């Protein structure tokens, strides 16, 4: 367990550093959007491009992995919406609760963390989960959120898909996959620029997560009842990974070509805390951002222990 903490502790410590820097005003609040833009449009796309360029396209589009992870994401969305509606929440807030329950922080945290834990062999499966969440999970939840009171689910779905297509991360993965398939390489100086930007992605992204968490928590300062967010935290950190594991075990028993290593990667991806950018989406679409911010904050804080325990449970040894 000590070897696992030696890998996971620095990742979560950098998140805490970002939170404290924003809280103590060492990092001005006005600087947070700039940090977020740097990670989203420069550093992280370069990191994902490099991983995509070194990953066979058959892994990025593995039909068994897609069916397993995508099916579980839809089930988590359905469960969370049912739970939220049972509390009397509207469809918009229920949909954003479902998004924050089913969408782990794979881009900013999961890819570098799981590669550090399990080696570059894990990159293909982790990146595939990102594609599922950015295209399927987010589009489904945003379409449902926009359909409340509008009576036009198709329009909501179209808007959600346009948002997914405007995200630079899937395009960077796709470009990397194209380079992998065609066996292309970047010219030396350009490759060095991409490498330098990619190398900055992990520390800056983790620091930014902390700052964004602080800002979201301030924006959603209205008190949220515990019963409105605690069940979603449990669904994210416990139900989601256990569901992926259980469904994966059934896949293996049915004879599906699913390696235990790949299943471990998918389970650990599901065990990550909620994606921090969901808070920005909730604010943009007029949902209860305070509820979403607390779910993200608590899943991130508790994941230091729950994620490390999941790594130990699924025998993922640090690379």
**Helix or strand or coil: residue 150?**
coil
Residue 73 — pLDDT band, cuts 50, 70, 90? very high
Average pLDDT over every residue of 13-21: 96
**Token match 């739970």: residue?**
83
130 within 8 A of 68, measured Cβ to Cβ: no
| Residues in Cβ contact with 230 at an 8 Å cutoff, skipping those fewer than 6 apart | 298
Top pLDDT among 156 and 184 is at 184
Question: How far apart are alpha carbons 90 and 244 in whole angstroms?
Answer: 28
pLDDT at 62 over 90: yes
Residue 128 — pLDDT band, cuts 50, 70, 90? very high
Q: DSSP code of 39?
A: I
Question: How far apart are alpha carbons 161 and 168 in whole angstroms?
Answer: 13
Average pLDDT over every residue of 55-70: 92
Average pLDDT over every residue of 167-194: 92
What tens digit of pLDDT does each residue of 134-161 get? 989 998 998 888 886 555 556 666 766 6
pLDDT at 292 over 60: yes
**Two tokens, residue 210:** 């902390």
Question: How far apart are alpha carbons 228 and 249 in whole angstroms?
Answer: 32
160 within 8 A of 138, measured Cβ to Cβ: yes
Residue ranges of the domains in the chain? 2-313
Question: How far apart are alpha carbons 9 and 308 in whole angstroms?
Answer: 9
Average pLDDT, the chain: 90
CATH class of 2-313: mainly alpha
Other C-beta atoms lying within 10 Å of the C-beta of residue 308 = 19
CA-wise closest residue to 50 among 106, 111, 104, 7 = 111
What tens digit of pLDDT does each residue of 81-97 get? 999 999 999 999 999 99
pLDDT at residue 286, rounded to an integer: 85
Residue 289 — pLDDT band, cuts 50, 70, 90? confident
Burial category of 5 from C-beta neighbours within 10 Å (exposed 0-12, middle 13-18, buried 19 and up): middle
Question: How far apart are alpha carbons 78 and 94 in whole angstroms?
Answer: 10
What tens digit of pLDDT does each residue of 235-255 get? 999 999 999 999 999 999 999
pTM to 2 decimals? 0.91
pLDDT at residue 315, rounded to an integer: 66
Name the least confident of 20-29, 108-117, 218-227. 218-227
């Amino acid at each position: 367990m000590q070897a696992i903490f030696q890998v996971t502790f620095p990742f979560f410590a950098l998140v805490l550093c970002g939170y404290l820097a924003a809280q103590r005003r060492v990092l001005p609040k006005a600087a947070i959007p700039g940090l977020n833009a740097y990670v989203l449009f420069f550093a992280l796309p370069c990191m994902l491009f490099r991983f995509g360029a070194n990953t066979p396209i058959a892994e990025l589009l593995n039909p068994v992995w897609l069916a397993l992870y995508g099916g579980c994401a839809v089930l988590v969305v359905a469960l969370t919406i049912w739970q939220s509606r049972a509390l009397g929440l509207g469809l918009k807030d229920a949909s954003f609760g479902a998004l924050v329950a089913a969408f782990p922080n794979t881009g900013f945290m999961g890819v570098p963390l799981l590669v550090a834990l399990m080696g570059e062999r894990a990159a293909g499966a982790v990146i595939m989960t990102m594609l599922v969440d950015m295209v399927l999970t987010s589009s489904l939840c945003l379409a449902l959120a926009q359909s409340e009171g509008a009576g036009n689910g198709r329009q909501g779905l179209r808007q959600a898909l346009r948002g997914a297509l405007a995200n630079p991360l899937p395009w960077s993965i796709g470009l990397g996959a194209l380079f992998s398939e065609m066996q292309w390489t970047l010219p030396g100086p350009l490759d060095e620029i991409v490498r330098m930007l990619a190398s900055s992605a992990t520390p800056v992204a983790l620091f930014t997560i902390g700052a964004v968490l602080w800002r979201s928590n301030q924006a959603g300062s209205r008190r949220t009842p515990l019963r409105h967010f605690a069940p979603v935290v449990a669904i994210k950190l416990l139900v989601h990974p256990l569901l992926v594991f259980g469904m994966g075990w059934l896949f293996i028993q049915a004879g599906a070509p699913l390696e235990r290593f790949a299943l471990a990667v998918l389970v650990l991806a599901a065990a990550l805390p909620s994606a921090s950018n969901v808070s920005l989406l909730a604010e943009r679409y007029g949902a209860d951002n305070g509820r979403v911010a607390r779910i993200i904050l608590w899943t991130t804080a508790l994941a230091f222990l729950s994620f490390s325990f999941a790594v130990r449970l699924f025998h993922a040894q640090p690379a």
